[in-house]
Amino acid sequence: MDTLSMGKEDSVCELCQQGPETGIHVLWECGVARGIWAGSKGRLQKSIGGQADFSHLFEDLMVRLTREELEAFLVQCWLIWNQRNSVLHGGTLQDPTQLVQRAADVREEYIEAQGELVIPSHVEQAQRWEPPTGYFYKINVDAAVFAEMNASGFGVVVRNERAEVLASLVAKGPPVQNSEEAELLACRKALEFAVDAGFMDVVLEGDSLNVMQAISTGRANRSRLGHIYEDIQCLAAGFRSYSVSFVKRSANGVAHALARFAKYVDDELVWLEEAPPPALEALSHDSYHVLFNE
């Protein structure tokens, strides 16, 4: 017996009203689920049906799919099941493309988390924030996604070669579909902020590798976020000197603290030539390591 359908053998699917509310129907055969699977890539999209129950489906996919594809399948099942429960309790159906993208994001977050749990064979010193050289100003930027509030948040801090804070910003952003969109919007906001404040020689620094690489190379982007990349390139052209740098989260603590604090503001907060209170601990941490060169 399908373990997800125990006690509901005679029930009808409450979403499509066209099949028994079994595990394999809810997660694989229901029209709502099939609309989501249609947007999946590779062999998941082309997998055949007709299995007796979910366990038989899983056994079949274990033979057909790679480990990565099987992980994607399990994450997507979890999101489909959660959406079903949400709808039954008064929620609305999400767009299938959003659930497919969300599954990819969840799997990526899981892989990153697993990497952080790995015990290295040797202890590596955490990356620290470093001040800019010469007459450059370093702009650290980060974003946060507040799914429960249907919003995002941006944190920006500008510091000089003596690690002095010249300007900082906390801003509430719009709802986003994924972390890439949030990071891109934060970078655009940071450059707009730097232009308004009059900084002409800047280093833009963030902890999203893919986004910072895309901005740095200036590659053409034809995705739905392409217009944001174009805005960033236009803003960058207005500086006298400009470069982009990627750092790990441990070297981006101030911007990260500010982005998280955006949850508590209505629009935006700006501090000029003073330390922003929401990031005092992170600033102290950076200043200590700069002072003692550790």
Length of the chain: 294
Give me the mean pLDDT over the 187-201 stretch: 97
Give the residue, 10 or 84, on which the prediction is more confident.
Answer: 84
| 2 close to 23: Cβ distance less than 8 angstroms | yes
- From CA 245, how far away is CA 215, in angstroms rounded? 10
Q: With cut-offs at 50, 70 and 90, classify the pLDDT of residue 19.
A: confident
| pLDDT score of 2 more than 50 | no
Terminal-to-terminal C-alpha distance of the chain: 61
Mention every residue, 6+ apart, whose C-beta is less than 8 A from residue 202.
136, 137, 138, 139, 158, 194, 239, 241, 242, 243
- CA dist., res. 31 & res. 122, Å (int): 51
The per-residue pLDDT for 279 is 94
Q: Is pLDDT above 50 for 8?
A: no
Of residues 122 and 55, more confidently modeled: 55
188 token code pair: 């655009």
Q: What is the mean pLDDT of residues 209-228?
A: 82
Cβ of 122: how many Cβ atoms within 10 Å?
4
What local confidence, expressed as pLDDT, does residue 17 receive? 82
The 10s digit of each residue's pLDDT in 200-211 is 999 999 999 999
Higher pLDDT, 167 or 27: 167
Cα 131 from Cα 245, distance rounded (Å): 12
pLDDT of residue 64: 80
Task: Please give the backbone phi and psi of residue 143, each rounded to the nearest 5 degrees, phi first.
Answer: -130, 155
Does the pLDDT of residue 185 top 90, yes or no? Answer: yes
Structure tokens, 242: 């400009």
The dihedral formed by the CA atoms of 115, 119, 124 and 127, expressed in degrees to the nearest 10: 30
Q: DSSP 3-state assignment of 102?
A: helix
Cβ-based neighbour number of residue 228 at 10 Å: 20
Q: What is the pLDDT of residue 282?
A: 92
pLDDT of residue 4: 46
pLDDT at 154 over 50: yes
7 — pLDDT class (breaks 50, 70, 90): very low
The partner residues of 113 in beta bridges, in order of sequence, read none
pLDDT at position 183: 96
Sign of the Cα torsion 147, 72, 115, 141 reads: negative
The β-bridge partners of 152 are 145, 173
Which residue is it, tokens 């202890």? 123
**Which residue in 150, 55, 153, 167 sits closest to 94, CA to CA?**
150
Mean pLDDT for all residues in the chain? 85
* pLDDT tens digits along 127-148: 899 999 989 999 999 999 999 9
Q: Which residues sit opposite 153 in a β-bridge?
A: 144, 172
137 forms beta bridges with: 202
The more confidently predicted of residues 11 and 185 is 185
Please tell me which of 24-33, 70-79, 267-276 the model is most confident about, judged by mean pLDDT.
267-276
Q: pTM for the whole thing? A: 0.60
Q: What is the pLDDT of residue 143?
A: 97
Residue 69 CB partners (closer than 8 Å, separation 6+): 42, 43, 44
- As beta bridge partners, residue 172 has 153
SS3 39: coil
The model's confidence at residue 121, banded by pLDDT at 50, 70 and 90, is low
Query: CB count, 10 Å around CB of 245?
Result: 16
Q: What angle do CA 213, 219, 225 make, to 5 degrees?
A: 85
pLDDT in tens, 48-101: 667 778 888 888 888 788 888 888 888 888 888 888 888 888 878 888 888 888
Would you state the pLDDT for residue 6? 39
